[in-house]
């Protein structure tokens, strides 16, 4: 079971969903204007504006690292700092990309509760240093859903936004799994972003059925000034842009993005439910999005691995992360749950 066994390793191990693929196939006709001056890109941008119920500025970048880094560098200067969770992808898994794109902005990690920043933890970091010898806080970045599978409620985001306003901070959202957050809460995208005070959203497509092409949405359009130049200079302007934008048309036009997110979330819930009574297994975090974080025994983890299952264990001793995806197979979820039960017995 070489391939299927990787189904829980990461949602970016998955392939391209049919809707995205078909849109790409349809886009693959003849010659089209390059660098985003094509019809598909215009259509995708319109879909975003319609979905978010606002006239936002829309850009595309090749991957999430670039999307986040470009957005953050538009929100601050090199001598500013960015407040993030200690588990934020920008801090732990982007190899210093935010620092590189911004020419040196420092990331300041704040305490979290179940992976989520709070007004209090932001305030604590933002007010710790007010002198010129330390980079001035200028941005808060939230990850929605978080890296530990939890989801910010609209009122939590609103409260953070109020804190940002008070402290002169811009608010960025890393939405690599934004779809899963929407699906879990049943909120509209608008409710989770600009209506709650988010300035810029990086909306991830890769983890929800696309090959490349994250969308960057500026709700605060002043912050988007010359952002097209920024993307170009940073090597993030696709010449054949239609292949980045068409897939978005594909997954946005009939709500495939939400359907798939619901499916992935459902699989995560199923896995959690199937193992909830297994002795020695406990949830490390509430299952809200598409990830399940289980506290198990180290030998059990080794035994699971020996059976061919692939999953990440970066969370600490005995911790295992199982990610579900748009194409996760329920039968495989049940098999995995059964194996977890066995290795723990």
Binding window for a second copy (CB under 8 A); candidates: 90-98, 181-189, 248-256, 286-294: 90-98
Is 190 a binder of a second copy (CB under 8 A)? no
Query: How many Å apart are CA 198 and CA 142, to the nearest integer?
Result: 9
Contact flag: residue 342 with a second copy (CB under 8 A):
no
Verify binding: residue 304, a second copy, rule CB under 8 A: no
Based on the shown chain and the rule CB under 8 A, indicate whether residue 180 belongs to the binding site for a second copy.
Answer: no
DSSP secondary structure string, 84-134?
EETT-HHHHSSTTHHHHHTTSPEEEEE--BTTB--HHHHHHHHTT--STTS
Cβ distance 212 to 62 under 8 Å? yes
Binding residue for a second copy, selected from 42, 167, 211, 303, defined by CB under 8 A: 211
Of 158, 167, 97, the closest CA to residue 130 belongs to 167
| Residue 127 binding a second copy, by CB under 8 A | no
CA 109 to chain centre: 18
Q: Which stretch binds a second copy (CB under 8 A): 86-94, 119-127, 249-257, 266-274?
A: 86-94
If DSSP states are collapsed to H, E and C, what string results for 247-282? HHHHHHCCCHHHHHHHHHHHHHHHHHHHHCCCCCCE
Closer to a second copy at the Cβ: 201 or 344?
A: 201
Count the residues of the shown chain that bind a second copy, applying the rule CB under 8 A.
73
Query: Which of 54, 79, 167, 335 forms a contact with a second copy (CB under 8 A)?
Result: 79
Give the one residue of 26, 162, 235, 282 binding a second copy; rule: CB under 8 A.
Answer: 235
Using CB under 8 A as the binding rule, whether residue 233 contacts a second copy is answered as yes
Pairing of the two strands 200-203 and 214-218: antiparallel
Span near a second copy by CB under 8 A; candidates 2-10, 49-57, 192-200, 273-281: 2-10
């Amino acid at each position: 079971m070489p391939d299927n066994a990787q189904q829980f390793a990461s949602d970016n191990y998955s392939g391209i969903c049919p809707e995205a693929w078909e849109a790409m196939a349809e886009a693959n006709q003849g010659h089209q204007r390059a660098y985003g001056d094509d019809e598909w890109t215009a259509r995708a941008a319109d879909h975003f504006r319609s979905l978010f119920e606002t006239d936002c500025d829309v850009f595309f970048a090749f991957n999430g690292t670039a999307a986040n880094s470009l957005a953050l560098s538009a929100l601050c200067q090199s001598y500013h700092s960015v407040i993030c969770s200690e588990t934020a992808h920008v801090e732990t898994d982007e190899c210093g990309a935010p620092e590189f794109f911004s020419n040196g902005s420092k990331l300041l990690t704040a305490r979290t509760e179940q992976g989520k920043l709070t007004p209090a933890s932001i305030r604590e970091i933002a007010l710790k240093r007010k002198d010129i010898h330390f980079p001035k806080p200028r941005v808060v970045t939230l990850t929605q859903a978080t890296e530990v599978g939890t989801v910010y409620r609209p009122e939590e985001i609103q409260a953070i936004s109020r804190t940002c306003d008070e402290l002169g901070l811009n608010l960025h959202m890393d939405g690599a799994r934004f779809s899963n957050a929407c699906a879990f809460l049943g909120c509209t995208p608008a409710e989770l972003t600009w209506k709650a005070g988010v300035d810029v959203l990086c909306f991830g497509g890769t983890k929800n059925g696309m090959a490349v092409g994250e969308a960057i949405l500026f709700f605060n359009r002043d912050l988007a000034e010359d952002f097209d130049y920024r993307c170009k200079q940073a090597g993030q302007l696709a010449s054949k842009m239609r292949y980045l934008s068409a897939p978005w048309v594909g997954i946005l036009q009939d709500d495939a993005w939400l359907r798939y997110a619901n499916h992935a979330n459902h699989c995560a819930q199923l896995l959690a439910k199937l193992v909830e009574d297994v002795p020695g297994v406990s949830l490390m975090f509430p299952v809200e999005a598409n990830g399940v974080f289980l506290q198990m025994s180290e030998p059990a983890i080794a035994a699971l691995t020996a059976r061919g299952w692939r999953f990440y264990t970066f969370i600490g001793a005995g911790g295992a992360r199982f990610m579900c995806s748009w194409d996760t197979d329920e039968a495989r979820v049940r098999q995995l749950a059964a194996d977890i039960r066995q290795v723990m017995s």
